[in-house]
Structure formats: structure tokens, C-alpha cells
Amino acid sequence: MHEDAFDRLIDRRGTASIKWDAYPRYFNLTEEKAQDILPMWVADMDFPAPTSVLEVLRSRLDHGILGYSTADVQLKDSVRYWLKKRHGWDVKDDAILFSPGVVPSMGLSILALTEPGDGVLIFPPVYKPFYTVVETSGRKLLKSPLKLEEGSGGTMRYVLDPLHLETVLHNEQPRLILLCSPHNPTGRVFTEAELTALLELAMRYKIAIVSDEIHADLVFPPHKHIPLGRHPLAQKTPVLTLMAPTKTFNLAGLQGSMIIVEDSEIRDKLANSLLRFGLNHLNTFAQLAMTEAYRNGEAWLDQVLHYLRENMRYVQKTLSDALPMAKIFMPEGTYLMWIDLRAYAQSEGELREKIIERGKLLVNFGSDYGPEGEGYIRLNVAAPRSTVEEGVRRMVQALSPSWA
């Protein structure tokens, strides 16, 4: 697929799209307020999936029979091929389990590895389901917020805070840590030093780590994603690595992911949990798409990454010029831009009113990721350039002091 293909506008309305069809319900918008809205919120892409994946799915549909299917050898082979080629990670067949998605995998991991009332720690501001899976499981939610520090060139970035983390581990004795790596919504790709410090603390306090790495393939040079399960210290403390092709290749609607666990005892517990809830099989199309994407989707991904980076540069430059008090966190990974807009609104309520009602733009607002995110937004730039340009124009119009 040529990069020009990503410029093509595809009308997603009327396809039961959460991003394009369901937003009035999610944002509690009246029919009048929902008119002419541009959605740039939910983390899926407005690009078609790789052509070869679509062809494989069409071929299977043409066969006509959509009965039960089972994972074949090719599926695990394709996963192992991708992890080795893209991440330098040799994974054994028996270390791989499949599930319908990363969030269900997090929930099952909590049920399998902890008891009601146990502490589970997260690193806010973080993707909202991290809160949900802990609290709905009857576990105690513990937090070690990411720390803002000055990076190269005077820019700010979020980092893991090992001193604060150790204080929480010592005082609260959690049973499990949930890591989001690369981090959603801040776009951080954690360094080897950060991950080493995290694993050393987990070893010291005998805590397992579940690492949501669904954005692992969406990383921009010179940054490099390090799968937590590949780290040498992961052999000394339990690590469950959750990955999927769904964010990478825009296949979220097919619902397929994997759990990679080297520890056989923990893997058996997870396998039993998957079996208990009938979640131990992928649907036919998820299997086919995963196999094909991991085998033949790399060129498509590289083109997407280049296109996304150009979108991000456009957003950064335009907002820096038009809204100079905005603080833009250039993503190291993910296609989600985390932007501090506190200088342009007295409260998140005011920010929502300006962006949604004045700007007719939908973004994710920072409080969804915890109180640490209030006054921030998460902007999805995985869209044709013209869509991104229009979204930025609307944001500037809504927030510019000269707007009337």
C-alpha cells in the first residue's frame, strides 16, 4: 500500500463504529450538540487494514462455512516470527496463550494471581480500564503516579518514579503491578534503566507484573520498545506480557490477543481461567488476520509509522504556533498525543465545553486517566492528514483567546 492511500477519506458512519457512531451516548450529547462533530478520540485508526489481511478474510468468507475453528501451528509460528523479527525476542510455543483481548487478559490475570482485597498497583495517568479491572474485581487500587521531569531540549516527559514506587510497595504490599508499556496516554517508551529498576523492586517485594504492550509495534525511532518479558530479570520474577496485532494493524474489531508467560505454574493458572470463562479460543477471523498480519504486514506498518510521525509533527508545529501555552508531549510510541491545555480553561468542564461545543471536536479528556490528567486531552492522530488538519483547526478556533 502506497502512503498516499492513508490520505483517502473513508466514511465510517453507519458501521456501528464506537468512534464515529456511538459518541453521543459516551459523551452524553443531545442530537443537536452531536451534529457535525469530528471524532478524534477512540484509539483505532481511520485507515484500512493491510490489503493482504483483507484478502485473506475475503477468501475465508467466500468459502461460505464459518464453523468452529482451532488455532493451528501457523498461528503460533507467526507470533514467534514477529516477536523475533520486530523485537528480538525468542518465545517458545508453550509460553503463548490466546485471549479475545488485552483488557480481558488483565482482568483474568487479576483473578488468577490475586485474592479479593489484595492490592494491585497502577501508574497514572493511565488508560481507564486499568482502574476498572482492579475495582470491579474487588481488589484494592494502589497508585504510583508517573513523574514529570525535564528531558532533552527543555521538553517535559513522564518517567517511572522508583522512589515513590518503593514507598508504596513497602507500605501497601501489593500482590500485582499493572504496567502500560508503551504508556497510554503519555506516549512514553520506557528505557531499559526504568524497566530494570521496576523489575528489581518487583523481585525484592515478590510481586508479579502484568505488562500491557498492545502499542509495542507503534514506536518511533530512535526509541525502541523493550518487551518486559524479554528482560533478563523477567526470569527471576513473574512477568505476564500482553500483546496483540489489533492496534498495530487496525484490527480491533476482530478481538484477538496473546498472553506470553514463561512461568509454567502461572501459565497453568491463566489457562484455567481462560477455560473457566470460555475465552480460550480466538474467532476464525482473528486467527486468520493475526497470522497474515504478522507474516506479511511489516511493510504496511513501516509506512503507517512514517505517516503518523508526519501527522504528529504537523500537530506539534501548528499548536505550538497557534496555542503557545499548550504543552505537547511528542509521543515516543502510540498514535495518541497527550496535550496539557490547562492554560486555556479554568476547569475540565470549561475545556470540554470549548472543545466539544465551540470546536465540534471530540477528544479524550484527561480525567478519564485519573485526576493527574485533569486539564489534559488525548488526541488520536491515526487519521488522514486532512482530518488531522481539520481537527487542529477546530481546536485552535475553540481555544484561541481571539475566538468569539
Residue 402: per-residue pLDDT? 65
Q: What is the pTM of this model?
A: 0.95
| Count of CB atoms situated within 10 Å of the CB of 48 | 15
Which of 363, 330, 380, 379 is closest to 188 using CA atoms?
A: 330
Give the ranges where 119-263 is alpha helix by DSSP (H). Answer: 129-135, 162-172, 192-204
What does each of the 404 residues of the chain score in pLDDT, given as a tens digit?
566 789 999 999 999 999 999 999 999 999 888 999 999 999 999 999 999 999 999 999 999 999 998 888 899 999 999 999 999 999 999 999 999 999 999 999 999 999 999 999 999 999 999 999 999 999 999 999 999 998 766 688 999 999 999 999 999 999 999 999 999 999 999 999 999 999 999 999 999 999 999 999 999 999 999 999 999 999 999 999 999 999 999 999 999 999 999 999 999 999 999 999 999 889 999 999 999 999 999 999 999 999 999 999 999 999 999 999 999 999 999 999 999 999 999 999 999 999 999 999 999 999 999 999 999 999 999 999 999 999 999 999 999 876 54
Which of 367, 372, 247 is closest to 308 using CA atoms?
A: 247
Domains 3-50+299-399 and 69-296 share a fold: no
CATH 3.40.640.10 fits 69-296, yes or no: yes
Question: Which single residue is written with the C-alpha cell 479479593?
Answer: 116
Residue 404: per-residue pLDDT? 42
Which of 12, 27, 128 is closest to 360 using CA atoms?
A: 27
Give residue 88's identity as a one-letter amino acid code: G
Give, in order, the Cα–Cα distances in Å from 45 to each of 49, 173, 383. Answer: 9, 39, 6
List the helix and strand counts (H, then E) for the chain: 13, 15
Residue 3: per-residue pLDDT? 63
CATH 3.40.50.300 fits 3-50+299-399, yes or no: no
All three cell numbers of 127: 488508560
d(CA 398, CA 30): 19
Residue 2: per-residue pLDDT? 63
Residue 156: per-residue pLDDT? 86
Residue 1: per-residue pLDDT? 59
d(CA 387, CA 40): 9
Spell out the domain ranges in the chain. 3-50+299-399, 69-296
Residue 70: per-residue pLDDT? 86
d(CA 102, CA 242): 6
Which of 201, 267, 260, 259 is closest to 230 using CA atoms?
A: 260
Residue 150: per-residue pLDDT? 82
